[in-house]
Amino acid sequence: MTRHLRGSEFASSMIVLSILVISALLSGCDKSDRQVATTTPSGNAELRNSTLTRDYQNARLVLDLSVRNTTLQPRRLAPPFIRLLDANDAEIPPFFLAFSQPPTLAPGTSETHELAFWLDESHLAGEIWLVVGEEDPLPVKDADPFELDLIDNQASRHFKGPHWQQHYPEQPGQ
């Protein structure tokens, strides 16, 4: 009887070990390919993709954002309604040319807009979050540092999801 219990304990241990191994293998999969868009729980905002364009030691980040205005007031797609925050909760400034104005979303409408922000190298050292109104923040970039030197000056990189380093690991000069 003792031998039989040890055998069943061994079988149980093997099953648990197999489950752990499978879980570990699946957790290593590239989730960025499966997560093409990031959406708030209410569905009022969806970050479709990001484009980073290097400008010497700075960069312009353009976010393709689909947003719905559920209020009775027009919403200007700029601070304080739209805010981009770095890992230290510091606000990253929007990027608008003098002759352009941020888009305004009419009450009860849904639209997709490209919103631009001006980043310096320190912003790329950690997480970046997009806050839309009172919604939960959307992850733009994960905590992995992204080296601006991976991009040639005036070149752009496109990202789907917050895992930028997985898209362009260690590829200087491209």
Question: Torsion angle, CA of 128/82/40/119, rounded to 10 degrees?
Answer: -20
Assess whether pLDDT exceeds 90 at residue 139: yes
Least confident of 47-51, 136-140, 166-170: 166-170
Cross-strand partners of 156 = 53
In the chain, pLDDT over 90 holds for what percent of residues?
60
Domains in the chain: boundaries: 1-29, 38-167
pLDDT digits (tens, 9 = 90+) for 86-116: 999 999 999 988 888 899 999 999 999 999 9
- pTM summary value: 0.74
Cross-strand partners of 59 = 54, 119
The pLDDT, as a whole number, for residue 165 is: 79
Could you tell me the CA-to-CA distances from 19 to 14, 29, 94, 149, 166 in Å, in that order? 9, 16, 47, 41, 26
Name the pLDDT band for 8 (thresholds 50, 70, 90): low
Mean pLDDT (whole number) for 155-169: 83
Least confident of 8-22, 56-70, 86-100: 8-22
Rounded to whole angstroms, the Cα distance separating 166 from 33 reads 10
Q: Collapsing DSSP states into helix, strand and coil, what is residue 113?
A: strand
156-159 and 91-92 as β-strands: parallel, antiparallel, unpaired? unpaired
CATH node for 38-167: 2.60.40
